[in-house]
């Protein structure tokens, strides 16, 4: 490059408020990120982690095989609780994905610079979370091999999906989401793949990365087109942040079941999704920055910001809990009142109160900047929120179903070992993909970081 | 006691030396204790049944047999099976169209005697569904659970299928040869040493065969035994009237009924008819209608008690005192006044009942339960006589048994003879005495002393296993016979199918002993009735055709007998109290038939095993039912195993708390704990016969049950029975049900002053706006169902009928526990009031077929859709199994095949399936269809005839089976249809109207008719 390399001077001591630690040049950024893929190799900790993830992934395969062989009866579901872990996991995973899209698309349009260094792996997280989520609607079906009946394909019998069903909307919402997320992520990767291709020292790697770099040469024309494509995709992806989880919430609100049938659900679900998604990003970011020495790129400022978003969305979720309870009593419908009372005092009261503590009370610690700026505390807190968000979906599904209108049909749901294996198995699947991702693809956007070097340098000069 | 595992080395050495070193030995025990070892080996590898004599087939015999069979093989072409005409009901056989079912009248013999008339559907010669025979007095077109489920027994793969001789397969002609030899011997010895054991015989033909057999062999004896026998009633009647009688009740003429520990609704010989008559007197059309009044004094909470207007829990032993006091109060002469009324009878209760009875002299009934002693029966009938009910509501006839005996004495005598070596040949026909004879008689041990034991049995059960010969017996749908109903009416048992496994009927076996082995059951039955000269010889052919068609032989009901009550009956033999009452502080045990599998005759019937028992909704097990107070006293809860000792015998079984059970006693039911029932029944429940004794057959004292600390998992369909969690669960569920107005109850007086008590407020019943366009329901057939909860007694017949009609799968105990029972119609139970004596109410729940069905719009593939006739249909082929429809069903009537529940492996079970209904596979939702196959059948039939379906032409399976006619189905667009009339009644309501789902199934609210004199 002919131009003088700008140097990110700033103050030489990190204050924790910058989005990129001082002292980085184009070269140092590129070196540091590509090194993880090309030269550092796999360490023992990576191997242990990867083996654990693959082990769980194998368990998932066993779980699915058993499920296919014997039917959904291997799970704990029954009449009245027709949905159990599968749908809980589906909503949970798809919620987790939302943070990635929010970061990569919404914050891009909002010109939030701090998104740059977390954007790539957050997007990967989205993609993998959607892959995990997408599995469950198929697995939970009684006859999963007929899943394509939910698609509007030209059937010789002239039969279409039943478009009034939110499950059909789900198919569109989730498949759109998966497609856009994949495209967005891949398009974002192209310049970096070219960088890795150029730096790769083995023929095999050069070819592979070369193929996926789609002949990127970094010409001005390329960049012009590329910027436009990125903006367009961001424009398409941004509404999905809101729409996907709104549609997912329709799975519940369209029903007439007390505890499901509620207009508060769409905003409540979207906020909850972002809440859990940021928790997942923190859960991934904290170990990544530690083990790969990325403290310069993933700074305290990032953690602080994400903590703030969690606090904001968490408060929306808390508001929803309060309003849900209030509306049940204010509306005076005996079924709604019973449903709320049953959640709080019935057989699943433990779930409710644990949920309130981990999802509502503990996250109040985020008001303190000491907590927000402490990676360990934030890391632990992110687990609390993720547990909380999982329990929230479990509570909505199970406690609403297990005691609905006709008391004679009241029942209980208890997960079986296959419920657990499939659930934990998808976590294994997620981390298997994620481990592969951090090993083979630049987990932080190199070209955007270089851009950031320039911008922070300019800011420092100004 | 010597440790049985101890091996004395010295004796081992001695044993080795005895046998020499060349001997092979299997274990040290064998050497040490040769005798004990033999015993051990015998138990481990039993050679059953024990050999009587070596059959010894020599090589020479084999060659002879081969030659003979080769010769006979050519002859088979010449044999022609005799043609035995069976006649279909209503539609003559010329109209037979392949694919169209025909109905044949037949009758089901009950284990305790008496017949239930049936019409059995035959699809291409394959019986698939049993309905009641409208012409049969015990049925009137309805059935109980056993009538419905009997069909499954026919196809049971566990039935005995081959003739067995000492465990080896042989054939019937071998057996006939043996019978021929035996006959020769008996003829010369007058039948000395020969005994026949049957169940209670109410078949005139079999009775006449047995009678003539006994005439031929005067030294032989015919014994009858059924565990649930009616000798207490018979003895009581004999004590009172001096002769053997059968009694029948006319509930259609009774305004006041007092049941003394009697569960007369839908159980026993006349149960189905009694339920119909009882419900007819209770049907309320408008405020001018009247209702009968039922008082139930009972130890265990039963459906009769749940239906009663006044229910009083009393221990079985206290019923006698109550009956005595009641007899005094209504003025029966010859009873010592001043008898102590049992504690727990509220003041004024007895006087209230007595006054009510006195005001309804001639139109009241007092009846006692079968397990009550003869004295209580005598007292009940003395009261009836004093009230002038005799001949009006209570009718006495000659006994319907061919030869009434005291069954308990009969088997006691047989066991005595067997033990003293007087019996060398025993023929056991039906029954299962090894399993169900009283434990103190030790029938099994006595049986082992009989040299030759012949057995005609449907199963290779406990008894068959101990016999030398097992001849597979015919199911009643396979053979000709006849049976008398509770009123004496004789009906023909007409076969619908040739014996599946070459089974033999009792008529054939007895016929062979009579020296006529070639005569078929058909000829025996027909011959018997032709001898009765009911028609002239010329007309006999037509007469017989009519009899077969209708299933009932006209004019055979027994005429009423005029009887005179004798004073001082209490002192007469058999009339006295058996001294069974429990001492102060001790517990009491009452033995009863199980609500669903009866005396064990239906243990291997999976429909009945899975059927939730009334009130408890327990499936697949029995338990010791106790009251909450008794549970607290014993500090046990549901599922705690207790050990009870009765007459020195011990039984461990779990307890179940049954609200409304009398305090200080427990009830155990028969039929469970079998070892050789079959793959369905083996290992279910606990065997109450193991502690049951011949001298205390009804109830008796036991010492305090001992809590063992073990737990046993009992499974119920409705979870609200978990009442011991501080009593909270029951309270909450039932309270919620009433808060939600699922059950609407009023007294007759309240109804008269406010006929609209059950109506929903108008704002909840108007058509609320709907996002989606409405269907037009104004034209064509619009199917609807109305269920009169005031008539429903909760007998579960509808549930079993639905299993049979709609090929519903049985899922087993574990899956029921997981909440996956498949029944399309269920009987929900809710309790109200205190736990000591609560009221219990039933709500029958089929699919509601909502007009705005919430299940339909959430299905992603359109697998559940609405028909123009208002049916909510389920397209199994299209279902992908998201279960969203079930989640969104407010009534939770949808059922999901979580696993492959349908049995595709057992070929014999293919036979029972209704060809008009698909068998659902794994991953598919299913639910009540209002029997759409029956609707479509009627539509096709009427379209061919260019007419519309008349009211009553489409009858759903549940409706058809219902003994009380509580279910009405029809076209609600026809203002004259029964269902429209019911829906127009002021008591009509739908469940959860404010959801705006507009159910097509509606309910008529329950009414109670309490006695104003009794304040509760």
pLDDT at B766 over 90: no
Provide the pLDDT for residue B1010. 92
Provide the pLDDT for residue B58. 64
Q: Is the peptide bond before A80 cis (omega within 30 degrees of 0)?
A: yes
Provide the pLDDT for residue B125. 83
**What's the predicted TM-score (pTM) here?**
0.87
CA angle B782, B785, B786 (to 5 degrees): 135
Identify each DSSP E strand in B489-553 by its residue range: 490-493
pLDDT at B95 over 70: no
Provide the pLDDT for residue B130. 92
Q: How far apart are CA A169 and CA A345, in angstroms?
A: 34
Supply B447's token pair: 């049986």
ipTM (interface predicted TM) = 0.91
- The predicted-structure confidence for A197-232, as pLDDT tens digits, reads as follows 988 888 999 999 999 999 898 899 999 999 899 889
Q: Are strands B168-170 and B163-165 parallel, antiparallel or unpaired?
A: antiparallel
Nearest CA in chain B to A160: B861
Question: CB–CB of A83 and B881 under 8 A?
Answer: no
Longest dimension (CA), chain A: 79
pLDDT at B610 over 50: yes
Supply A225's token pair: 């087109």
DSSP run (H or E) holding B257:
strand B256-260
Sequence-distant (6+) residues with CB within 8 A of A320 are A264, A267, A268, A271, A272
CA distance to B368, B474, B763, B844, B955, per residue, from B264 (Å) = 9, 30, 43, 21, 26
Residue among A345, A406, A411, A419 with most chain B CBs within 10 A, to mutate? A406
CA atoms within 13 A on the CB side of B800: 33
Q: Is the peptide bond before B49 cis (omega within 30 degrees of 0)?
A: yes
Provide the pLDDT for residue B1015. 75
More confident residue, A383 or B762: A383
Contacts of A408 in chain B (CB under 8 A): 718, 720, 733, 737, 826, 828-830, 843, 845
Provide the pLDDT for residue B338. 62
Q: How far apart are CA B689 and CA B268, in angstroms?
A: 19
Backbone phi, psi, residue A254, to 5°: -70, -25
Q: Is the peptide bond before B757 cis (omega within 30 degrees of 0)?
A: no
User: First CA to last CA across chain A, in angstroms?
Assistant: 24
Residue among B739, B764, B858 with most chain A CBs within 10 A, to mutate? B858
More confident residue, B34 or B131: B131
Per-residue confidence band for A462, with pLDDT thresholds at 50, 70 and 90: low
CA distance to A234, B857, B929, B967, per residue, from B784 (Å) = 55, 21, 11, 11
Provide the pLDDT for residue B904. 87
Mean pLDDT, residues B803-818 = 92
Provide the pLDDT for residue B393. 92
- Smallest CA–CA separation between A397 and chain B, in Å? 10
Q: What is the DSSP letter of B754?
A: -
pLDDT at A9 over 90: no
pLDDT at B6 over 90: no
- The predicted-structure confidence for A148-193, as pLDDT tens digits, reads as follows 999 998 888 888 999 999 999 999 999 999 999 899 899 989 999 9
Provide the pLDDT for residue B731. 60
Q: How far apart are CA B32 and CA B38, in angstroms?
A: 11
pLDDT-wise least confident of A425-429, B24-28, B342-346: B24-28
Q: What is the DSSP letter of A149?
A: G
Q: What is the DSSP letter of B986?
A: T
DSSP run (H or E) holding A95:
helix A85-101
User: Residue A252 in contact with residue A260, Cβ under 8 Å?
Assistant: yes
Provide the pLDDT for residue A76. 92
Per-residue confidence band for B260, with pLDDT thresholds at 50, 70 and 90: very high
Provide the pLDDT for residue B31. 61
Contacts of B888 in chain A (CB under 8 A): 255-257
Mean pLDDT, residues B928-945 = 92
Q: Are strands B649-657 and B640-646 parallel, antiparallel or unpaired?
A: antiparallel
SS3 state at A425: helix
Question: CB–CB of A83 and B818 under 8 A?
Answer: no
Contacts of B886 in chain A (CB under 8 A): 79-80, 82
Mean pLDDT, residues B156-176 = 90
Question: CB–CB of A72 and B887 under 8 A?
Answer: no
Mean pLDDT, residues A431-437 = 93
- Smallest CA–CA separation between A424 and chain B, in Å? 22
pLDDT at A1 over 50: no
Sequence-distant (6+) residues with CB within 8 A of B705 are B587, B624, B634, B642, B643, B644, B655, B666
User: Residue B486 in contact with residue B117, Cβ under 8 Å?
Assistant: no
Nearest CA in chain A to B735: A407
Provide the pLDDT for residue B99. 72
More confident residue, A116 or A208: A208
pLDDT at B720 over 60: no
Provide the pLDDT for residue B292. 92
- Smallest CA–CA separation between B922 and chain A, in Å? 7
Sequence-distant (6+) residues with CB within 8 A of B869 are B780, B781, B782, B783, B935
Mean pLDDT, residues A408-436 = 93
- The predicted-structure confidence for B647-662, as pLDDT tens digits, reads as follows 888 999 999 988 889 9
Per-residue confidence band for B481, with pLDDT thresholds at 50, 70 and 90: very high
Which of B390, B376, B278 lies closest to B323 in space, CA to CA?
B376
Provide the pLDDT for residue B286. 86
Provide the pLDDT for residue B96. 62
Note the Cα A397 to chain centre separation in Å. 20
- Smallest CA–CA separation between B680 and chain A, in Å? 21
Residue among A86, A88, A140, A142 with most chain B CBs within 10 A, to mutate? A142
Sequence-distant (6+) residues with CB within 8 A of B516 are none
Of the candidates A74, A164, A166, the beta carbon closest to that of B772 is on: A164
User: First CA to last CA across chain B, in angstroms?
Assistant: 59
Per-residue confidence band for B833, with pLDDT thresholds at 50, 70 and 90: confident
Provide the pLDDT for residue B565. 81
Per-residue confidence band for B826, with pLDDT thresholds at 50, 70 and 90: very high
- pLDDT > 90 in chain A, percent: 55
Q: What is the DSSP letter of B552?
A: B
Q: At what angle do helices A349-356 and A375-394 cross, to 10 degrees?
A: 150
- Smallest CA–CA separation between B857 and chain A, in Å? 6
Provide the pLDDT for residue B56. 53
- The predicted-structure confidence for A243-254, as pLDDT tens digits, reads as follows 999 999 999 999
Q: Taking the CB of residue A22, how many other CB atoms lie within 10 A of it?
A: 18
Which of A240, A389, A274 lies closest to A321 in space, CA to CA?
A389
Question: CB–CB of B860 and A334 under 8 A?
Answer: no
Per-residue confidence band for B93, with pLDDT thresholds at 50, 70 and 90: low
Which of A20, A10, A16 lies closest to A445 in space, CA to CA?
A20
User: Residue B306 in contact with residue B277, Cβ under 8 Å?
Assistant: no
- pLDDT > 70 in chain B, percent: 87
pLDDT-wise least confident of A109-118, A364-373, B29-38, B495-504: B29-38
Supply B602's token pair: 């239906």
Of the candidates B733, B830, B860, the beta carbon closest to that of A168 is on: B860
- The predicted-structure confidence for B844-902, as pLDDT tens digits, reads as follows 999 999 998 999 999 999 999 999 999 999 999 999 999 999 999 999 999 999 999 99
pLDDT at B963 over 90: yes
CA distance to A380, B182, B427, per residue, from B215 (Å) = 94, 16, 17
Provide the pLDDT for residue B536. 79
- Smallest CA–CA separation between B859 and chain A, in Å? 6
Mean pLDDT, chain B, whole residue set: 85
CA distance to B722, B739, B777, B828, B834, per residue, from B734 (Å) = 12, 9, 35, 11, 11
pLDDT-wise least confident of A2-16, A389-403, B281-295: A2-16
Per-residue confidence band for B578, with pLDDT thresholds at 50, 70 and 90: very low
Q: How far apart are CA B918 and CA B718, in angstroms?
A: 28
Mean pLDDT, chain A, whole residue set: 88
CA distance to A5, A83, A86, A273, per residue, from A248 (Å) = 48, 14, 14, 11
Which of B530, B968, B550 lies closest to B789 in space, CA to CA?
B968
Contacts of B828 in chain A (CB under 8 A): 406, 408
């Amino acid at each position: 490059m002919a131009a003088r390399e700008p140097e990110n001077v700033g103050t030489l001591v990190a204050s924790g408020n910058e989005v990129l630690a001082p002292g980085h040049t184009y070269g140092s950024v590129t070196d540091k990120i590509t090194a993880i893929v090309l030269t550092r190799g796999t360490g023992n900790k990576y191997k242990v982690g990867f083996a654990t993830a693959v082990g769980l992934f194998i368990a998932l395969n066993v779980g699915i095989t058993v499920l296919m062989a014997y039917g959904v009866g291997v799970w704990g579901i029954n009449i009245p609780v027709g949905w159990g872990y599968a749908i809980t996991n589906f909503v949970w995973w798809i919620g987790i994905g939302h943070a990635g899209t929010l970061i990569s698309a919404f914050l891009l349009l909002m010109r939030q610079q701090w998104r740059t260094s977390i954007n790539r792996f957050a997007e990967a997280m989205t993609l993998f979370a959607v892959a995990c989520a997408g599995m469950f609607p198929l697995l939970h079906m009684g006859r999963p091999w007929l899943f394509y009946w939910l698609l509007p394909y030209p059937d010789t019998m002239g039969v279409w999906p039943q478009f009034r069903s939110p499950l059909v909307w789900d198919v569109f919402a989730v498949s759109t989401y998966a497609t856009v997320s994949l495209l967005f992520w891949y398009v974002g990767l192209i310049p970096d793949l070219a960088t890795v291709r150029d730096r790769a020292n083995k023929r095999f790697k050069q070819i592979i990365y070369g193929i996926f770099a789609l002949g990127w040469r970094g010409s001005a024309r390329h960049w012009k087109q590329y910027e436009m494509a990125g903006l367009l995709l961001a424009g398409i992806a941004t509404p999905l942040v809101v729409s996907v989880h709104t549609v997912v919430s329709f799975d519940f609100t369209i029903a007439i079941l007390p505890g499901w049938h509620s207009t508060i659900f769409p905003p409540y679900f979207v906020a909850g999704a972002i809440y859990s998604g940021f928790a997942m990003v923190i859960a991934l970011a904290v170990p990544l920055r530690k083990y790969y020495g990325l403290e310069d790129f993933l700074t305290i400022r990032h953690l602080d910001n994400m903590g703030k978003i969690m606090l904001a969305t968490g408060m929306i979720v808390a508001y929803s809990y309060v309003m849900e309870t209030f509306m049940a009593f204010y509306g005076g419908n005996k079924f709604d009142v019973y449903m709320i009372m049953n959640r709080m005092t019935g057989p699943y009261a433990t779930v409710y109160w644990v949920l309130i503590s981990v999802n509502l009370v503990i996250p109040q610690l985020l008001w303190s900047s000491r907590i927000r700026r402490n990676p360990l505390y934030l890391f632990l807190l992110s687990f609390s929120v993720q547990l909380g968000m999982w329990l929230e979906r479990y509570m909505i599904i199970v406690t609403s179903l297990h005691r609905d209108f006709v008391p004679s049909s009241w029942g209980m749901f208890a997960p079986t070992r296959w419920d657990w294996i499939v659930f934990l198995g998808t976590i294994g699947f997620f981390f298997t993909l994620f481990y592969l991702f951090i090993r083979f693809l630049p987990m932080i956007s190199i070209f955007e970081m270089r851009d950031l070097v320039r911008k922070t340098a300019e800011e420092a000069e100004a | 006691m010597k440790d049985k595992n101890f091996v004395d080395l010295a004796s081992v050495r001695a044993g080795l030396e005895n046998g020499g070193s060349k001997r092979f030995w299997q274990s040290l025990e064998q050497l040490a204790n040769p005798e004990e070892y033999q015993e051990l080996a015998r138990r481990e590898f039993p050679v059953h049944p024990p050999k009587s004599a070596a059959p010894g087939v020599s090589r020479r015999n084999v060659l002879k047999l081969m030659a003979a069979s080769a010769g006979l093989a050519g002859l088979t072409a010449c044999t022609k099976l005799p043609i035995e005409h069976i006649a279909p009901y209503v539609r003559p056989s010329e109209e037979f169209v392949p694919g169209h079912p025909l109905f044949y009248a037949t009758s089901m013999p009950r284990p305790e005697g008496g017949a239930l008339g049936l019409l059995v559907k035959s699809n291409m010669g394959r019986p698939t569904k049993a309905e009641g025979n409208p012409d049969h007095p015990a049925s009137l077109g309805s059935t109980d659970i056993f009538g419905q489920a009997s069909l499954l027994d026919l196809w049971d793969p566990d039935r005995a299928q081959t003739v067995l001789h000492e465990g080896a397969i042989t054939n019937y002609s071998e057996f006939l040869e043996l019978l021929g030899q035996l006959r020769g011997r008996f003829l010369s010895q007058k039948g000395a040493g020969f005994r026949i054991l049957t169940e209670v015989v109410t078949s005139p033909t079999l009775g006449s065969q047995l009678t003539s057999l006994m005439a031929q062999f005067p030294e032989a004896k015919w014994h009858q035994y059924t565990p649930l026998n009616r000798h207490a009633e018979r003895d009581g009647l004999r004590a009172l009237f001096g002769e053997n009688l059968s009694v029948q009740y006319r509930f259609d003429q009774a305004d006041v009924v007092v049941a003394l520990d009697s569960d007369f609704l839908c159980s026993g010989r006349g149960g189905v008819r009694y339920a119909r008559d009882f419900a007819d007197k209770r049907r309320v059309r408008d405020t001018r209608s009247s209702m009968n009044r039922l008082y139930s004094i009972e130890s265990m909470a039963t459906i009769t008690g749940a239906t009663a207007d006044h229910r009083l829990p009393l221990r079985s032993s206290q019923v006698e005192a109550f009956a005595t006091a009641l007899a005094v109060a209504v003025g029966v002469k010859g009873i010592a006044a001043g008898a102590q009324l049992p504690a727990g009878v509220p003041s004024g209760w007895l006087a209230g009942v007595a006054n009510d009875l006195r005001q309804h002299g001639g139109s009241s009934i007092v009846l006692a339960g079968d397990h009550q002693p003869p004295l209580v029966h005598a007292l009940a009938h003395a009261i009836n006589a004093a009230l002038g009910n005799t001949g009006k509501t209570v009718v006495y006839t000659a006994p319907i048994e061919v030869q009434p005996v005291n069954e308990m004495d009969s088997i006691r005598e047989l066991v005595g003879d067997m033990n003293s070596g007087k019996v060398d040949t025993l023929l056991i026909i039906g029954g299962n005495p090894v399993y169900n004879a009283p434990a103190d008689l030790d029938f099994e041990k006595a049986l082992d002393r009989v040299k030759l034991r012949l057995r005609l049995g449907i199963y290779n059960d406990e008894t068959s296993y101990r016999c030398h010969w097992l001849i597979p017996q015919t199911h009643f749908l396979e053979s000709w016979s006849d049976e008398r109903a509770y009123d004496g009416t004789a009906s023909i048992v007409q076969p619908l199918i040739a014996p599946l496994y070459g089974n033999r009927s009792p008529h054939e076996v007895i016929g062979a002993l009579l020296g006529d082995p070639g005569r078929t059951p058909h000829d025996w039955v027909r011959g018997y009735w032709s001898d009765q000269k009911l028609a002239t010889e010329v007309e006999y052919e037509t007469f017989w055709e009519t009899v077969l068609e209708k299933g009932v032989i006209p004019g055979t009901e027994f005429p009423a007998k005029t009887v005179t009550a004798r004073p001082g009956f209490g002192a007469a033999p058999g009339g006295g109290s058996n001294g069974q009452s429990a001492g102060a502080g001790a517990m009491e045990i009452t033995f009863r038939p199980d609500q669903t599998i009866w005396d064990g005759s239906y243990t291997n019937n999976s429909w009945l095993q899975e059927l939730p028992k009334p009130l408890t909704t327990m499936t697949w097990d029995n338990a010791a039912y106790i009251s909450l107070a008794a549970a607290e006293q014993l500090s046990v809860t549901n599922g705690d195993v207790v050990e009870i000792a009765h007459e020195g015998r011990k039984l461990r079984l779990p307890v179940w708390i049954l609200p409304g059970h009398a305090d200080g006693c427990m009830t155990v039911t028969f039929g469970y704990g079998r070892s050789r029932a079959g793959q369905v029944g083996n290992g279910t429940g606990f065997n109450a016969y193991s502690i049951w004794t011949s001298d205390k057959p009804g109830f008796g004292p036991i010492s305090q049950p001992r809590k063992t600390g073990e737990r046993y998992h009992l499974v119920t369909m409705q979870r609200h029975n978990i009442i011991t969690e501080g009593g909270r669960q029951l309270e909450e569920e039932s309270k919620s049900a009433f808060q939600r107005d699922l059950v609407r109850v009023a007294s007759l007086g309240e109804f008269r002053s406010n006929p609209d008590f059950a109506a929903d407020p108008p704002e909840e019943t108007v058509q609320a706006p709907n996002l989606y366009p409405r269907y037009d329901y104004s034209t064509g057939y619009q199917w609807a169902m109305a269920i009169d909860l005031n008539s429903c007694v909760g007998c579960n017949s509808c549930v079993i009928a639905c299993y049979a009609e709609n090929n519903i799968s049985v899922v087993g105990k574990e899956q029921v526990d997981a909440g996956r029972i498949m029944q399309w119609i269920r009987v929900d139970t809710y309790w109200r009031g205190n736990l000591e004596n609560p009221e219990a109410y039933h709500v029958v729940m089929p699919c509601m077929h909502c007009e705005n069905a919430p299940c339909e719009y959430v299905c992603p593939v359109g697998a559940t859709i609405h028909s123009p006739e208002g049916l909510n249909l389920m397209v199994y082929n299209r279902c992908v199994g998201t279960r969203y429809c079930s989640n969104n069903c407010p009534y939770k009537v949808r059922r999901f095949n979580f696993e492959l529940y349908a049995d595709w492996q057992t070929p014999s079970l293919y036979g029972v399936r209704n060809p008009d209904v698909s068998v659902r596979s794994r991953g598919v939702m299913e639910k009540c269809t209002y029997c759409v196959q029956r609707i479509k059948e009627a539509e096709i039939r009427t379209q061919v005839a260019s007419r519309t379906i008349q009211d009553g032409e489409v009858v759903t399976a549940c409706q058809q089976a219902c003994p009380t006619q509580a279910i009405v189905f029809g076209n609600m667009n026809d203002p004259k249809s029964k269902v429209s009339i019911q829906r127009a009644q002021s008591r009509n309501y739908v469940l959860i109207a404010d959801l705006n789902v507009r159910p097509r199934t509606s309910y008529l609210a329950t009414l109670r008719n309490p006695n104003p004199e009794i304040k509760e």
